[in-house]
Amino acid sequence: MPPKTGEEISSFEALLCTGETFNSTSVRDVCEDGCVLVFFGFAFSAIAENWWKQYDRKGWDEFPVPVYGISRDGPYAQNAFIRYLNSPFSMFSDTDGQASEAFELLTAREGMAGTSTPMRAVFVIDGDRTVAYRWIADDWISPVPRKEVEAAVRRLSDDGENI
């Protein structure tokens, strides 16, 4: 079962892509002061493109904690996707599925033999690496409840977390 609100997140290490470079990075290191983790299916999918553009337009890059994407795409695809969107966000390349498995989100894709991706999900993580908010989609296309995510990030600031 994916981590619930109030539970500490499991650690994973994956390649963190910036649009230009990628380096092996632990989620515990990048979330030591809090973060937002956005799991999604595929870079360059219409759904991912639409939502990442919306996060940018809504100012998620101005949150007091960093926002990271996580998908099964390789680091070159992730970097190309970040550049294509001219995105301010970094993304984890979860090629081996360890990040998705650590959050128990990995699921087989119907009609795509042998392919598994994380369910779409968002986790707001506090400075203690504890889940302050989570949303997990029931399907592949439902919109992320942006206002709920934004409120959860505001609560981190209001609670005086290490952000």
For the stretch 76-117, pLDDT in tens is 999 999 999 999 999 999 888 888 888 878 776 565 556 666
CATH number at 13-157: 3.40.30.10
Task: Kindly state the average pLDDT of the residues 29-40.
Answer: 93
Task: Kindly state the average pLDDT of the residues 15-23.
Answer: 97
Q: Output the CA–CA distances (angstroms, integers) from residue 141 to 47, 102, 126, 157, in the order listed.
A: 7, 23, 27, 30
Cα(89)–Cα(108) distance, integer angstroms: 26
Assess contact for 143 and 128: CB atoms under 8 A. Answer: no
Predicted TM-score of the model (pTM): 0.91
Is residue 163 pLDDT above 50, yes or no?
Answer: no
Question: Can you read off the two tokens belonging to residue 15?
Answer: 């390649």
- Give 86: exposed, middle or buried? Use CB within 10 Å, 0-12, 13-18, 19+: exposed
Show me where the domains of the chain are located.
13-157
State whether the Cα torsion 44-17-59-117 is positive or negative.
Answer: positive
Q: pLDDT (tens digit, 9 = 90+) per residue, 47-76?
A: 889 999 999 999 999 999 999 999 888 999
